[in-house]
Structure formats: C-alpha cells, structure tokens
Structure 1
Amino acid sequence: MLQALTSVLLPVFFVSGLGALLASRFPVDQATMARVTLYLLSPALVLDVVLRTPVQLAEAAQLGAAYLLTLGGCLVLGWVLGLGRPTEQRRSLSASVGIWNSGNMGLPIALFAFGQAGFERATVLFLASFIGMYAVAPAIYSLKRPSERAAWRELLRLPAIWVTVLGLALRALHVTLPQGLSRGVELLAQATLPMVLLSLGLQLGAGGWPPLTRRIWLASAARLVGGPLIALGSGVLLGLQGQALAVLVLSASMPTAVNALLLAREYQADTETVAGVVLLSTLGSVLTVAAVVAWLPRLGS
C-alpha cells in the first residue's frame, strides 16, 4: 500500500515542481490560469463525474449528510486555530482545514484500498466535497464583504454550481449527451488536475517556500489527524457502517485541496497561509494517509 501511495503522490510533486521551476524562471499570469480552471475546467470535471458515476440515492444522501457534518466540524476546528489572528488569516485557516483533496488523491487511494465499490462511494464524496467547496469557500473568503447578498452573488456566479444542477437534471431525465459533446467534456475534465497542480507549483515558485509558522503546522495537523477523527464521529452519528464509513474516514484524511488555493487567489484571501497548509499537509499525508489506510480494514470489515 505504501508503494501505491507513492505512485499517487509522486506525480503530484512532479507536476507541482515543474510549475514551481517555470515560475522561478519566467513571469506567469497566475490569475488567468486560476480562472481558466475555476470557470471552465472544474465545471467540466463536475459534469463528467455527475454523468458517469453510478449512485444509489439513499446511500449517496447518507454519505452527503456525513460529509456536511464533517465539513462543519473541520471548518470550526480551523476557525478556532485562527483565534487571535487577523480576520483574513483566520478565514484562510478555516478553509484550509475544511477543504480537503478528495479527488486526485482520495479517489485513486480509495480504489487501491477498497476496489471498485469503494471507488464509487469515494466518487460520491468527491462530488459532495466539490459542491461543498464551491459553496463554502467563497462564503468564507468573502465574509469581509458588506452584505450576505454580495456573498450569495459570488457563489451563484460560479459555473460549477449550475453545472451540478444541469448534470443532476440530465440524469433524472435519463438524457444522454451527444457523443461529440460528452467527449469534449471529458477532455476538459482530464485537463483539470494538471492545471490545478501547476497552479500550486506556480504559487510556490513565484513566492518561494511559504513560511511554515506554528499556525500552519497546527492547521496541517488538524487537517490530517483531526479530519479523519471528525469524519469517524460524524459517520457513526449518522449510522454509517462498514465500507461506507471507512471510505468517509479515508476521504477526510486527505491533505488540503489545491483548489482551496485557487479560490483564495480568486477572492484575494491570504494565499500565503493556504499555500503553506497545502504544501505541508501534502508532504505529511505520505505518513498519515498510510497509517489511516493500515487501520481502515477494521472499519471496512
């Protein structure tokens, strides 16, 4: 399993490293890259996941509720860690603990640990977390705005929200996209991960290694250790058992998502803090995720 984890993490560091090398040598418009990912590639990924994933409605609803409860606990934990710090940093710490990488790391690791059945459950959680991320992060990063109406406008302008509604409607009506269109969506979805990883590398390459302060260490520990513990409690509280509970815990043990950094950049939040937690939690996840995977058979049996 450690070899499998390495095969997942090594490409992450490789692609991010190339982005850092590029940014250290050439000026790159990071804001434009972030917006291409945010407004074009990520919505395509959501639509592709919604249309392709086999979902049992009852279990999907239960997993979604468990995710929401876990999300709330992690956001509160991150907010508490930021007490006494400037508002912008406190908001970024909360988002860093509450937004985890359930996609490009969580999905393949779930497949390695539980096979196809676990992968399908992990895909449901990925979709829930993707929607939750785009619903929660803009609200957190926009708390300084003068009114709730402004925050809702920021949320509703994100195409990922509308694409999710469209995808669910197409599935409910049993409508299949024309082959040419579905292939185009799939191509855009496949481009999302490389762009996201490059954006992380560009941030690190342009700004250098972020300062790993005590708060960043605590936030990384909260994400990697507190996340799975909160997920375990949430899942038990909502009656999840066996593999469904194990997949929830595994998902919540992932490091901070790079998309948290993209959204922080889009909403002019504390990108230095978010980049630090993304980097440190990703490095630390090599050990912590391996430990969680080794322990999970007790839940999945």
Structure 2
Amino acid sequence: MGEFIYIFNNVMIPIGIIVIIGYVVQLKYKLERATLAKLMINYIMPGFVFMNLYEADIDFMLLLYVILFLILYAGITFLICTLTARWIGLNYGHSILFRNSNLFYNAGNYGVPVNDLVFRSDPFAMSIQVMMMVFQNVFAFSYGIISLSAEHTSKLRALLNYFKMPIFYGVSIGLLFNYFSIGVPVPVTSAFDYIRNAMIAVVLFTLGAQIAGIKFKKIRSSAFLATAVRLLGGPVLAFLLLSLFNVEGIVAQAIMITTSMPAAVNSSIIAEAYSDDPEYAAEIVMLGTLLSAITIPFVIYIALNVF
C-alpha cells in the first residue's frame, strides 16, 4: 500500500498536473496540435536522446543482450496485436495505432521515476532503464513513423524519410560519442541540457492538448482493449520470456516493471503528426496512464518477489 501511495503522489500526480495544464490551455487557446507534435519530433526528442546516450554509462555487451530480448518481446507483441486488431475488425489505420500503442510503452518520463523509486537510485538498475528508454525512443521514431507515413506513401520512401529526421542523428551521434569517449564542449552540453530538461514538460503538455480534442462519451471499446493488452498482457508476456530464458535479479525486475508501463506519449505524438485519427491514440494513452496507477504497484510486487 505504501508503494502504491508513493507512486501515485510522486509520479502520477505530477504527470496529471502537466497534462491538465495542456488540456486547459488547449481549450482556451486552440493551439495547433500537429505543430506541437512536430516540435517534439524534430527538436526536443533529438536533443533528449543525444544527451541521454552521450552521458549514460553503457555496458555495450549488456546493451546487446537487452536489445535482443526487447526485439523478441516486440515481435511477439506485434503478432498478438495484429491478430487481435484483425479479430475485432479494425481498419488499417486503427490497426496500426492499436499495435503501436502496445509496442511503444512509457519507459521514459514514467518508467524512469518508477525505476528510481523501486531500486532506490541503483545506478545498475537505472542503466537498464536507460537502455530500454533508448530502444523505445529509437523504435518509436523509426518504425512508428514509417508504419503510419507508409499509409500515404511507399514503405521505401517512408524508410528513407526517417534518415532525414533529426532523431536519427541524435541517436547515431550520441552512441558514437559515448562509445569513443568523444568530448563535447561545455556550452554545447549546456544547450542540450536545456533541451533535455524540457522534454517531460512539453510531451505531457502536448498529451493534455490532444486529450482536449477527445469526446469522452465516445471513447471506443477497442481503446479499452488496447489498454488491457498493454497493462496486463505486456507484463505477463515479459514474465514468461524472462522465465524461459532464466533472466534473474535486477535485470529481470527492471525489464518486467518497465514493460508494464502504459502506452507511451510518443505513440500519440507520432499519431498527431502522421495519422488521420490521432484522437484514437490519445484515448489509449489517456486510459493507460490513468489505469496504470492501479496495475503497476502489483507488477512491482510480483517482479521483486519472483525474480
């Protein structure tokens, strides 16, 4: 009960306050939400990812093992969500959003503070978290964008367009500078620190602005199903895979807890910029963020007591 209250007070309430601010401002000023999404994709996220990769204490061999696990996890999730979306009769565009909301979970602005709480600022546990956060950011801003933009153009052109995006260079340069220990002048790191520190506030504000466009009486049943798959199916699948491969200790605990996170705000941000129905993605993110306050404490308890 204590962990539940702590998570709610120190994670959920701060997140909720910023989302509400975005919601109220959007109702009053009618901001251009697509512009907010493009600001995140082309400015905030590249700086955020670069600084986290550049400064992280990365064990590249462990990074490889974690990424291989996450690729397998994502592949099975992709299959489950594709079959589920087909079973309930979603159209092509909504099937992609349904799938993306489960492939992209909130390993960053939700997962990081939860990790810090559970493992009491353990640097090894946080290094696992950073690896997962980086994987999610790269995955979301590569496949996530390609999958949606390919609806209106060829998949090859969508893939090529990804290499024109600042996020690609933020990831590549961050990893290279980290691996080869390349120094960056203090004025540059200071500037990128300002950008990184803006990420959580801007992304949650944008989510609030998106939620302002949702008609709450018409939230679709498939959005509830997508949320259930993410919050319940996600950690169950992680538990089965971790048990199958005999992963134990902090690595297993951190992975299972992070895979229980709700749909990432990034899935909604990308949908705002590239989808014909971004409100559907926002519905899933909103439902997941609210209901995760109930499910995550149980996942934490299971992870810490089984692994």
TM-score by length of 2: 0.93
1:142 aligns with 2:145: no
Stretch deviating more after TM superposition (34-43 or 232-241): 232-241
1:106 aligns with 2:111: yes
Using the TM superposition, name which of 207-216 and 186-195 deviates more: 207-216
Pick aligned residue for 2:34 from 31, 36, 44: 31
Return the match for 2:174 from 152, 161, 167: 167
For structure 1, the residue ranges without an aligned partner over 5 or more in a row are none
Tell me, yes or no, if the aligned pair for 1:101 and 1:254 is still in contact at 8 Å: yes
- Counterpart of 2:5? 3
Q: Which residue of 110, 123, 137 corresponds with 2:130?
A: 123
Equivalents in 2 of 1:222, 1:133: separation in Å? 18
Find 1:18's aligned residue among 18, 21, 39. 21
* Matching residue of 2:279: 272
1:181 paired with 2:188, answer yes
Aligned-pair identity (%): 20
Per-residue displacement from partner, 1:81-119 (whole Å, max 9, x unpaired)? 221221111111011111110001111111111232212
Distance 2:255 2:183 in 1: 30
Q: What is the identity, as a one-letter code, of the residue corresponding to 2:133? A: F
Report the Cα distance in structure 2 between the residues aligned to 1:12 and 1:213, rounded to whole angstroms.
24
Q: Deviations over 1:265-292 (max 9, x none)?
A: 1112431211111011111100110110
CA drift of 1:239 comes to 4.6
**Distance across 2 between alignment mates of 1:62 and 1:267:** 32
Q: Within 1, Cα distance between the matches of 2:70 and 2:27? A: 38
Aligned residues of 2:98 and 2:281 also touching (Cα < 8 A): yes
Q: Deviations over 1:111-167 (max 9, x none)?
A: 111232212211111111111111220122134244221121232222112211111
2:207 is matched with which residue: 200, 208, 233? 200
Which residue of structure 2 aligns with residue 94 of structure 1? 99
For residues 180 and 234 of structure 1, what CA distance do their matches in structure 2 show?
44
Is contact 1:22–1:205 with CA below 8 Å preserved after alignment?
Answer: no
Q: Shift in Å at residue 233 of structure 1?
A: 2.8
Equivalent residue number for residue 227 of structure 2: 220
* Maintained 8 Å contact 1:138/1:154: no
Compared with structure 1, are the counterparts of its residues 158 and 209 closer, same or farther at alpha carbon in structure 2 (3 Å cutoff)? farther
Give 1:238 deviation, angstroms. Answer: 4.4
Q: Distance in 2 between matches of 1:284 and 1:48?
A: 31
Select the residue among 35, 41, 45 that pairs with 2:44.
41
Change in Cα spacing, 1:25 to 1:260, as seen in structure 2 (3 Å) is same
Structure 2 runs not aligned, ≥5 long: none
Deviates more, 1:2-11 or 1:220-229: 2-11
* Between 241-250 and 228-237, the greater mean CA deviation after superposition: 228-237
**How many residues get paired?**
300
Shift of 1:237: 4.2
Amino acid across the alignment from 1:99: F
Root mean square deviation of aligned Cα: 1.6
* TM-score, scaled to structure 1: 0.95
The equivalent residue for 1:58 is 61
